[in-house]
Amino acid sequence: MSQVTTQNVDFLATVPLFNGLDRIELERFAEVTREKSYPKGSVILFEDDPGDSLFVVRDGRVKVVLIGEDGREVILGVLGVGEYFGELSLIDDRPRSAHVIAMEDSNLLVLRREDFRKRVESSPSVAWSLLTELSRRLRRADDKIGGLVLLDVPGRIARLLLDLAEESGTNAIEKTLTHQTIAQMIGASRETVSRAMKDFQDAGWITVERRRIALADRAALEQRAQVRM
């Protein structure tokens, strides 16, 4: 096994979709992945493109977006190292449901549908890992939709910050987010987000240093993220 393949095995073991697999299964996946590089600002996938591959972020960051007829951009998600996209197309053969754009220079591991299906058909553990991850994503999508419908803008921001901190496993949010990016993720204006973020800082709920956000009062944020009747 080459050094690159060994490195990819070690990396795949950290990816939620694959971390329940044993070393032999990981090696089989690593052998059929290929690495592709994308410069900052480049489009990795266009909405309605044929869906034939799973992508895992090896280095860098990407955003999953919908673009309206008026050019307005709505960010569905920002994905960093170890996160992935395109898994739905591995199952239903449907076209891509959104654009994916590199937010910075990024390297991605690409796994073709045919290779993935062969591994799933030969290993129930792979199929179970996929089902578990899809279930987790569906639950998060339900929570996000509920927040967008029922919460005001500060409540949506509080919910987003809590979710991002949960992803990192600490009170620090690993992903660097501008106010514009936050606005595009929650369906609000940048100005409204900036005011709410300042209010959060003034209240001592969050700290911000060099665009790195940390939760200083999780309980207050959780209270603010509750639906107000």
The full set of domain ranges for the chain reads 3-142, 152-224
Could you tell me how far CA 29 lies from the centroid of its own chain?
21
Task: Kindly state the tokens that stand for 166.
Answer: 């949960």
What is the pTM (predicted TM-score) of this model? 0.75
CATH topology of domain 3-142: Jelly Rolls (2.60.120)
> Along the 229 residues of the chain, how does pLDDT read in single tens digits?
666 678 888 999 888 888 778 888 888 888 889 999 999 999 999 888 887 888 999 999 999 998 877 778 888 889 999 999 888 777 777 778 889 999 999 999 999 888 888 887 877 777 777 778 777 777 777 666 666 667 899 999 999 999 889 887 888 888 888 899 999 888 889 999 999 999 999 999 999 987 789 999 999 999 998 865 4
Q: Distance (Å, rounded) from C-alpha 7 to C-alpha 11?
A: 6
Task: Kindly state the tokens that stand for 114.
Answer: 């045919």
Q: Does the domain spanning 152-224 belong to CATH 1.10.10.10? A: yes
- Asked if 3-142 and 152-224 have one fold, the answer is no
Q: Distance (Å, rounded) from C-alpha 56 to C-alpha 21?
A: 16
Contacts of 59 (CB under 8 A, 6+ apart): 81, 105, 106, 107
Integer-rounded Cα Rg, in Å, for the chain is 19
